[in-house]
């Protein structure tokens, strides 16, 4: 379960007054799920090699557009709305689908050397509790895991650092969320920036799960 909420913000004034445009960021320190047998989503903790277009893709990965978000400027320009390249902060040159995942996943590769700059990894569980526990367990395999309860209405999230691009040595920022019995991990190639990039991608796609 998640530990008590830690609020970040200013202390309330001594006299209650109406306040306009006030926002509060909520985070939680995570504790391990209490039930045994919780599975870590291993795919979300594994490095991905570069995949240039002249090289064969592994089984279960095929070229194709991501069903949840457009890639962006280089290969799928958008006239309006969010795209992965803008939200993640790198240019995308190749997009693949991960067909063994349920629902399907997708991955984005960089312009030039085709190293991975991010992916969207969904997984379906038998219950909402199992999805939530898998989200926590997967985040805790990484580093700096912090819960973000109700990051959108009806879905809890976790920000953490994990593996994606091998030279980053497990420091790539990711964001996982649980919505019903589906858990989704969004990984990015951002290893020094704030975790906001991954969370913003999650917010852009969460309605599709």
User: Structural domain boundaries of the chain?
Assistant: 41-51+59-208
Structure tokens at 188: 């990015």
**Nearest by Cα to 135 from 160, 110, 114:** 160
Q: Which carries the bigger pLDDT value, residue 82 or residue 94?
A: 94
* pLDDT on residue 4: 35
Judge: domain 41-51+59-208, CATH 3.40.1000.10.
yes
* pLDDT on residue 8: 36
Beta-bridged to residue 110, according to DSSP, are: 92
Taking the complete model, does pTM exceed 0.85, yes or no?
no
Q: What beta strand segments (E) does the chain contain? A: 2-8, 25-30, 61-63, 92-98, 105-110, 116-124, 143-152, 155-162, 172-179, 182-188
pLDDT at 190 over 60: yes
* pLDDT on residue 5: 32
Q: How confident is the model at residue 32 (pLDDT cuts 50, 70, 90)?
A: low
* pLDDT on residue 33: 54
Percent of the chain residues topping a pLDDT of 70: 82
Report the chain's C-alpha Rg in angstroms. 18
pLDDT at 15 over 60: no
* pLDDT on residue 37: 56
The secondary element (H helix, E strand) that includes residue 201 is helix 196-205
pLDDT at 30 over 70: no
């Amino acid at each position: 379960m998640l530990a008590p909420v830690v609020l970040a913000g200013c202390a309330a004034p001594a006299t209650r007054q109406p306040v306009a445009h006030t926002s509060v960021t909520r985070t939680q320190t995570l504790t391990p799920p209490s039930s045994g047998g919780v599975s870590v989503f291993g795919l979300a903790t594994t490095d991905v090699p570069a995949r240039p277009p002249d090289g064969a893709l592994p089984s279960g990965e095929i070229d194709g557009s991501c069903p949840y978000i457009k890639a962006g400027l280089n290969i799928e320009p958008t006239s309006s709305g969010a795209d992965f390249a803008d939200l993640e902060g790198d240019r995308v040159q190749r997009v693949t689908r991960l067909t063994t995942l349920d629902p399907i996943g997708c991955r984005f590769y960089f312009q030039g050397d085709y190293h991975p700059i991010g992916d969207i990894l969904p997984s379906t569980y038998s219950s909402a509790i199992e999805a939530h526990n898998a989200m926590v367990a997967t985040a805790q395999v990484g580093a700096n895991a912090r819960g973000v309860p109700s990051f959108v209405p009806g879905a809890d999230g976790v920000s953490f650092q994990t593996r994606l691009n091998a030279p980053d040595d497990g420091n790539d920022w990711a964001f996982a969320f649980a919505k019903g019995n589906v858990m989704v991990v969004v990984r990015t190639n951002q290893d020094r920036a704030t975790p906001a990039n991954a969370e913003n991608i999650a917010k852009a796609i969460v309605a599709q799960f």
